[in-house]
Structure 1
């Protein structure tokens, strides 16, 4: 990591435990009620509550176009703000992307200072934050993300680990919990082929599942079938006329989503894939 890049000062009280945020309270609640994912590691642990997943939420890349913002707001979509873009939320609920994909497209190294500035300004209010990753980096990307997970220890917002080509469920499973979730990245063919498996893992670990770069009704249905909590795309923020079709697919897909499956359903599905 770049020398001289420091984490925000406001993070220190959360790290020391003198201040509690969403992540700290959620972790304590999940551990107390036995729904922190530990039952996936130890069959002797009994889960005492069933975690019901909320309807799938669409996130659109941040846009400053008033017409498109109004359309997104009316549809109750949210914004995905990139650390490499304008750090504005336009008054909407939002999540924070680390900017690695933009840097990759521009053939530039990951901008650690820009990510930390974004954390400083927007981290505390984000629905979730994508931990820095290495696009197409396989297990090296996971190692990099885990270093940042440790560096952001105490973050009150939810953190997501970006999974991509070359990673297996068992590589990631032990790091997941109700406060640390999955961001399905990677190549489009790999994403579509593995979404259901990541969905089963997310239900086993009671964690958030997000699928990146979703710009068609067909891919939205894939997300719903996997039981995803959310997805993002650029189409709705660039062309407001595409939003009704995508939003309709989001709401219709909820009827067929795997989100209502129990932990036992997810475990059976995973076991069947191994046969």
Structure 2
């Protein structure tokens, strides 16, 4: 089942943020075509904003007030209550919740969530298979096609076992990366995925980040955003975690120019 409103975007009757990103990127030659055609000139440098924090959706007023005061956003799960509480938000597919509960992925719940919240989301995570390696990528690509024309960015979840060359060709300013997988794998590979995201001019989010140390790792690597559950449960943890998002790292990849990103991933493209 696809959203009732999606066809208007897919056939060009309406334009969303994702379509605008692609038009802008195509004009400046940073839509990924330069990787395939040496004649394409990339005419704009990448510039990433400070990292953004997303908290798992909560209904606790005290915690919501704290999040709002810190200008954090909400990550709404397709397996949870479909409420945005007036926040800017992104949409998670619910695969992690199903994995934790030992249940199969709920395609119907995801479809309902996209129908209700997908049109105004900042981005959504395409369905994946947690810890599923290449099988997860194949599954995500099928959904990517089903959701063609989405007005928001769609993120492909990368998992343990995936390599840069497996996903690079599918990325663009409209299709980004959600770094999933195990915690150890995320920390070890975050800088690689960020370099790829910069090379392909796409958005990158890191999932399940619940400590100041891990936030600093994400920020230093140059990620666009991260999410966690800690501040949704305990408002008192927010000041410490929020400070980590605002502490600039003089060595952060986010401050590198386009040429540095190209050199960082030069050996990843043939």
Q: TM-score, normalised by structure 2?
A: 0.96
2:227 to 229, 232, 235: 232
Runs of 4 or more off by more than 6 Å in structure 1? none
SS at match of 2:91: strand
Cα deviations by residue, 1:103-151 (Å, 9 ceiling, x for unpaired): 0000000000000000000001101000000001100100100000000
Partner of 1:213 in structure 2? 208
Partner of 1:70 in structure 2? 65
Partner of 1:49 in structure 2? 44
2:26 to 23, 31, 41: 31
Partner of 1:86 in structure 2? 81
Equivalent pairs, count? 269
SS at match of 1:9: coil
CA-CA distance at 1:60 after TM superposition: 0.3
For the residues of structure 2 that align with 1:198 and 1:206, how far apart are their CA atoms? 12
For the residues of structure 1 that align with 2:265 and 2:172, how far apart are their CA atoms? 18
8 Å Cα contact 1:84-1:115 kept in structure 2 = yes
Q: Structure 1: state its 5+ residue gaps.
A: 1-5
Cα deviations by residue, 1:149-197 (Å, 9 ceiling, x for unpaired): 0000110011000001000001000000111000000011111000000
In structure 2, the CA distance between the partners of 1:90 and 1:140, relative to structure 1 (3 Å rule), is same
8 Å Cα contact 2:199-2:265 kept in structure 1 = no
For the residues of structure 2 that align with 1:273 and 1:17, how far apart are their CA atoms? 34
In structure 2, the CA distance between the partners of 1:255 and 1:248, relative to structure 1 (3 Å rule), is farther
CA-CA distance at 1:38 after TM superposition: 2.0
CA-CA distance at 1:260 after TM superposition: 2.0
2:177 to 152, 177, 182: 182
For the residues of structure 1 that align with 2:223 and 2:53, how far apart are their CA atoms? 10
CA-CA distance at 1:255 after TM superposition: 4.9
Cα deviations by residue, 1:233-264 (Å, 9 ceiling, x for unpaired): 00011111000000001100455421121222
Partner of 1:12 in structure 2? 7
Q: TM-score, normalised by structure 1?
A: 0.95
